[in-house]
Protein backbone atom coordinates (compact mmCIF):
# COMPACT_ATOMS: atom_id res chain seq x y z
CA UNK A 1 0.00 0.00 0.00
CA UNK A 2 1.08 3.55 -0.65
CA UNK A 3 1.00 4.52 3.05
CA UNK A 4 3.38 1.64 3.86
CA UNK A 5 5.77 2.73 1.13
CA UNK A 6 5.76 6.25 2.55
CA UNK A 7 6.58 5.00 6.04
CA UNK A 8 9.32 2.71 4.70
CA UNK A 9 10.72 5.65 2.77
CA UNK A 10 10.76 7.88 5.82
CA UNK A 11 12.50 5.23 7.94
CA UNK A 12 15.08 4.66 5.22
CA UNK A 13 15.72 8.40 4.92
CA UNK A 14 16.16 8.71 8.68
CA UNK A 15 18.56 5.77 8.77
CA UNK A 16 20.66 7.19 5.92
CA UNK A 17 20.69 10.58 7.62
CA UNK A 18 21.91 9.02 10.84
CA UNK A 19 24.72 7.14 9.07
CA UNK A 20 25.83 10.29 7.28
CA UNK A 21 25.71 12.30 10.49
CA UNK A 22 28.06 9.92 12.28
CA UNK A 23 30.81 10.91 9.84
CA UNK A 24 30.26 14.64 10.19
CA UNK A 25 32.82 16.68 12.13
CA UNK A 26 30.46 19.44 13.26
CA UNK A 27 27.12 18.95 15.09
CA UNK A 28 24.14 19.27 12.75
CA UNK A 29 20.44 18.42 12.77
CA UNK A 30 21.21 15.07 11.17
CA UNK A 31 23.68 13.77 13.74
CA UNK A 32 21.22 14.35 16.56
CA UNK A 33 19.55 11.01 15.84
CA UNK A 34 19.80 7.97 18.10
CA UNK A 35 18.38 4.47 17.82
CA UNK A 36 17.29 1.69 20.14
CA UNK A 37 15.85 -1.78 19.68
CA UNK A 38 14.72 -4.82 21.61
CA UNK A 39 13.70 -8.45 21.23
CA UNK A 40 11.14 -10.04 23.57
CA UNK A 41 9.89 -13.54 24.32
CA UNK A 42 6.42 -13.76 25.89
CA UNK A 43 4.22 -16.61 27.10
CA UNK A 44 1.36 -14.86 25.27
CA UNK A 45 0.80 -11.70 23.26
CA UNK A 46 -2.10 -10.08 25.13
CA UNK A 47 -3.16 -6.59 24.11
CA UNK A 48 -6.13 -4.41 25.10
CA UNK A 49 -8.07 -7.17 26.78
CA UNK A 50 -7.54 -10.19 24.55
CA UNK A 51 -4.91 -12.64 23.36
CA UNK A 52 -3.51 -12.00 19.90
CA UNK A 53 -1.94 -15.45 19.88
CA UNK A 54 -4.57 -17.89 21.24
CA UNK A 55 -2.62 -18.17 24.50
CA UNK A 56 0.57 -19.32 22.76
CA UNK A 57 4.10 -17.86 23.08
CA UNK A 58 5.15 -14.85 21.02
CA UNK A 59 8.41 -13.41 19.73
CA UNK A 60 8.48 -9.66 19.20
CA UNK A 61 10.92 -7.14 17.78
CA UNK A 62 11.05 -3.38 18.19
CA UNK A 63 13.14 -0.65 16.57
CA UNK A 64 13.04 3.09 17.34
CA UNK A 65 14.82 6.00 15.67
CA UNK A 66 14.51 9.35 17.38
CA UNK A 67 15.79 12.90 17.14
CA UNK A 68 16.70 15.22 19.98
CA UNK A 69 13.83 17.48 18.89
CA UNK A 70 11.36 14.82 20.08
CA UNK A 71 10.46 13.38 16.67
CA UNK A 72 10.63 9.60 16.33
CA UNK A 73 9.74 6.64 14.12
CA UNK A 74 9.19 3.08 15.34
CA UNK A 75 8.69 -0.41 13.94
CA UNK A 76 7.08 -3.30 15.82
CA UNK A 77 6.63 -6.92 14.72
CA UNK A 78 5.09 -9.97 16.40
CA UNK A 79 3.79 -13.38 15.49
CA UNK A 80 -0.01 -13.71 15.91
CA UNK A 81 -2.79 -16.29 15.62
CA UNK A 82 -6.11 -14.56 14.91
CA UNK A 83 -7.57 -16.84 12.21
CA UNK A 84 -7.31 -14.11 9.57
CA UNK A 85 -4.85 -15.79 7.20
CA UNK A 86 -1.85 -13.87 8.53
CA UNK A 87 0.64 -14.97 11.17
CA UNK A 88 2.37 -11.58 11.46
CA UNK A 89 1.53 -8.18 12.90
CA UNK A 90 3.67 -5.33 11.58
CA UNK A 91 3.16 -1.83 13.00
CA UNK A 92 4.58 1.55 12.00
CA UNK A 93 4.68 4.53 14.33
CA UNK A 94 5.42 8.20 13.80
CA UNK A 95 5.32 10.54 16.79
CA UNK A 96 6.53 13.52 18.71
CA UNK A 97 7.44 13.97 22.39
CA UNK A 98 7.24 17.49 23.83
CA UNK A 99 8.73 18.14 27.26
CA UNK A 100 6.90 20.91 29.10
CA UNK A 101 9.22 20.69 32.11
CA UNK A 102 11.10 18.07 34.14
CA UNK A 103 7.85 16.57 35.41
CA UNK A 104 5.45 16.79 32.48
CA UNK A 105 5.48 15.96 28.77
CA UNK A 106 3.03 15.50 25.91
CA UNK A 107 3.06 12.92 23.13
CA UNK A 108 1.23 12.79 19.80
CA UNK A 109 1.45 9.68 17.67
CA UNK A 110 0.28 8.02 14.46
CA UNK A 111 0.05 4.21 14.33
CA UNK A 112 -0.48 2.02 11.28
CA UNK A 113 -1.34 -1.60 12.19
CA UNK A 114 -0.87 -4.19 9.42
CA UNK A 115 -1.37 -7.95 9.01
CA UNK A 116 0.56 -8.91 5.86
CA UNK A 117 -1.01 -11.75 3.88
CA UNK A 118 -4.42 -11.49 5.57
CA UNK A 119 -7.33 -13.23 3.85
CA UNK A 120 -8.65 -10.91 1.12
CA UNK A 121 -12.13 -12.44 1.31
CA UNK A 122 -12.80 -10.83 4.70
CA UNK A 123 -12.94 -7.12 5.62
CA UNK A 124 -9.45 -5.78 6.18
CA UNK A 125 -8.12 -6.23 9.73
CA UNK A 126 -5.62 -3.39 9.14
CA UNK A 127 -6.34 -0.02 10.70
CA UNK A 128 -4.83 3.37 11.52
CA UNK A 129 -4.88 5.07 14.91
CA UNK A 130 -4.07 8.53 16.28
CA UNK A 131 -3.29 9.27 19.90
CA UNK A 132 -2.36 11.99 22.36
CA UNK A 133 -0.87 11.39 25.81
CA UNK A 134 -0.20 13.50 28.89
CA UNK A 135 2.62 12.11 31.02
CA UNK A 136 3.60 13.12 34.55
CA UNK A 137 6.97 12.04 35.95
CA UNK A 138 8.46 12.12 39.43
CA UNK A 139 5.10 12.80 41.05
CA UNK A 140 5.41 10.62 44.16
CA UNK A 141 8.91 9.25 43.71
CA UNK A 142 11.80 9.79 41.33
CA UNK A 143 11.25 7.85 38.09
CA UNK A 144 7.57 7.11 38.67
CA UNK A 145 5.27 7.85 35.72
CA UNK A 146 1.55 8.56 35.34
CA UNK A 147 0.22 8.37 31.78
CA UNK A 148 -3.21 9.28 30.42
CA UNK A 149 -3.76 8.53 26.73
CA UNK A 150 -6.60 8.97 24.25
CA UNK A 151 -6.66 6.86 21.06
CA UNK A 152 -8.86 7.36 18.00
CA UNK A 153 -9.28 5.13 14.97
CA UNK A 154 -11.47 6.50 12.15
CA UNK A 155 -11.96 2.98 10.69
CA UNK A 156 -11.14 0.20 13.11
CA UNK A 157 -10.21 -3.41 12.33
CA UNK A 158 -12.54 -5.30 9.94
CA UNK A 159 -13.97 -1.95 8.80
CA UNK A 160 -16.14 -1.59 11.90
CA UNK A 161 -16.12 2.20 12.02
CA UNK A 162 -14.84 4.58 14.67
CA UNK A 163 -13.14 3.30 17.82
CA UNK A 164 -12.09 5.26 20.92
CA UNK A 165 -9.82 4.15 23.75
CA UNK A 166 -9.09 5.93 27.03
CA UNK A 167 -6.13 4.55 28.93
CA UNK A 168 -4.64 5.34 32.35
CA UNK A 169 -1.41 3.73 33.55
CA UNK A 170 1.02 4.21 36.41
CA UNK A 171 4.56 2.90 36.98
CA UNK A 172 6.14 3.02 40.43
CA UNK A 173 9.76 2.03 41.22
CA UNK A 174 9.74 0.04 44.47
CA UNK A 175 13.48 -0.64 44.75
CA UNK A 176 16.63 -0.51 42.66
CA UNK A 177 15.91 -2.36 39.40
CA UNK A 178 12.41 -3.31 40.62
CA UNK A 179 9.14 -1.69 39.53
CA UNK A 180 5.40 -2.23 39.62
CA UNK A 181 2.67 -0.97 37.31
CA UNK A 182 -1.06 -0.92 36.69
CA UNK A 183 -3.17 -0.02 33.66
CA UNK A 184 -6.86 0.32 32.87
CA UNK A 185 -8.37 0.97 29.44
CA UNK A 186 -11.90 1.75 28.27
CA UNK A 187 -12.73 0.86 24.65
CA UNK A 188 -15.77 2.34 22.84
CA UNK A 189 -16.90 1.06 19.43
CA UNK A 190 -19.21 2.56 16.81
CA UNK A 191 -22.22 0.31 17.48
CA UNK A 192 -23.37 -2.99 18.95
CA UNK A 193 -23.25 -4.46 15.45
CA UNK A 194 -19.59 -3.48 15.13
CA UNK A 195 -18.90 -4.97 18.55
CA UNK A 196 -20.56 -8.22 17.45
CA UNK A 197 -18.26 -8.44 14.42
CA UNK A 198 -15.21 -8.01 16.64
CA UNK A 199 -16.16 -9.80 19.86
CA UNK A 200 -19.07 -12.12 19.00
CA UNK A 201 -21.80 -10.48 21.07
CA UNK A 202 -24.23 -7.64 20.33
CA UNK A 203 -25.18 -7.02 23.96
CA UNK A 204 -22.92 -3.99 24.33
CA UNK A 205 -20.65 -1.62 22.43
CA UNK A 206 -17.77 -1.11 24.89
CA UNK A 207 -15.52 -2.95 27.31
CA UNK A 208 -12.84 -2.33 29.93
CA UNK A 209 -9.47 -4.08 30.23
CA UNK A 210 -6.97 -4.25 33.08
CA UNK A 211 -3.31 -5.01 33.63
CA UNK A 212 -1.24 -5.19 36.83
CA UNK A 213 2.27 -6.48 37.31
CA UNK A 214 5.91 -5.84 38.03
CA UNK A 215 9.34 -6.10 36.48
CA UNK A 216 13.01 -6.52 37.28
CA UNK A 217 15.85 -5.05 35.23
CA UNK A 218 19.29 -6.65 35.02
CA UNK A 219 21.89 -5.17 32.69
CA UNK A 220 20.07 -5.02 29.33
CA UNK A 221 17.37 -7.53 30.27
CA UNK A 222 13.88 -6.82 31.62
CA UNK A 223 11.82 -9.56 33.25
CA UNK A 224 8.05 -8.91 33.46
CA UNK A 225 5.27 -10.78 35.21
CA UNK A 226 1.72 -9.42 34.97
CA UNK A 227 -1.96 -10.30 35.18
CA UNK A 228 -4.43 -9.25 32.47
CA UNK A 229 -8.22 -9.38 32.19
CA UNK A 230 -11.23 -7.69 30.56
CA UNK A 231 -15.02 -7.77 30.49
CA UNK A 232 -15.07 -8.12 26.70
CA UNK A 233 -16.93 -11.43 26.26
CA UNK A 234 -16.09 -14.39 28.47
CA UNK A 235 -17.59 -16.81 25.94
CA UNK A 236 -14.61 -16.38 23.60
CA UNK A 237 -11.35 -18.09 24.52
CA UNK A 238 -8.98 -15.25 23.64
CA UNK A 239 -10.70 -12.94 26.17
CA UNK A 240 -9.87 -15.15 29.16
CA UNK A 241 -7.78 -13.64 31.93
CA UNK A 242 -4.11 -14.65 31.99
CA UNK A 243 -0.81 -14.40 33.81
CA UNK A 244 1.98 -13.53 31.39
CA UNK A 245 5.76 -13.70 31.73
CA UNK A 246 8.16 -12.01 29.33
CA UNK A 247 11.90 -11.51 28.87
CA UNK A 248 13.08 -8.48 26.91
CA UNK A 249 16.64 -7.88 25.68
CA UNK A 250 17.43 -4.25 24.92
CA UNK A 251 20.09 -3.11 22.47
pLDDT in tens, the chain (251 residues): 545 554 455 445 455 445 554 444 455 666 889 999 999 999 999 999 999 999 999 999 999 999 999 999 999 999 999 999 999 999 999 999 999 999 999 999 999 999 999 999 999 999 999 999 999 999 999 899 999 999 999 999 999 999 999 999 999 999 999 999 999 999 999 999 999 999 999 999 999 999 999 999 999 999 999 999 999 998 998 899 999 999 999 99
Total count of domains within the chain: 1
Q: Residue 25: what pLDDT?
A: 46
Distances (CA, A) of 60 to 38, 40, 43, 236: 8, 5, 11, 24
Rounded Cα distance, 17 and 10, in Å: 10
Asked if residue 178 is part of any domain, the answer here is yes
Write out the residue range of the structural domain in which residue 98 sits: 33-250
According to the model, what pLDDT value does residue 203 have?
92
6 located within any domain: no
**Domain for residue 20, yes or no?**
no
Residue 96 lies in a domain: yes
Q: Quick one: which of 184, 157, 152, 177 has its CA closest to 48?
A: 184
- 23 within domain boundaries: no
Name the 3-class secondary structure at 1.
coil
Q: Are 189 and 206 in contact (CB under 8 A)?
A: yes
- Is residue 16 domain-resident? no
CA–CA separation, 162 vs 77, rounded Å?
Answer: 24
Is position 4 within any domain? no
Q: What is the DSSP string of 22-72?
A: HT-SS--SGGGEEEEEEEEEES--EETTEESSTT--EEEEEEEEEETTSEE
For residue 134, how many other CB atoms are within 10 A of its CB?
14
Within-domain flag for 25: no
The whole-number pLDDT of residue 119 equals 95
Q: Cβ–Cβ contacts within 10 Å for residue 176, how many?
A: 6
| 23 vs 1: CA distance, rounded Å | 34
| CATH code where residue 113 lies | 2.40.160.40
Q: What is the pLDDT, as a whole number, of residue 234?
A: 85
Is residue 150 within 8 A of residue 137, CB to CB? The reply is no
Amino acid sequence: MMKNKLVYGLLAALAVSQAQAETAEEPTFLNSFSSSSSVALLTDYYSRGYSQNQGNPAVQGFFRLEHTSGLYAQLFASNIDLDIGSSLELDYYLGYDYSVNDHFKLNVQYLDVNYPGADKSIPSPDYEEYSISAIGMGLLKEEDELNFSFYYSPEYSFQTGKELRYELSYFYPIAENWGTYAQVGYNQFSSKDAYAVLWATDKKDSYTDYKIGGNYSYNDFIFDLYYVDSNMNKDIDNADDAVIFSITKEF
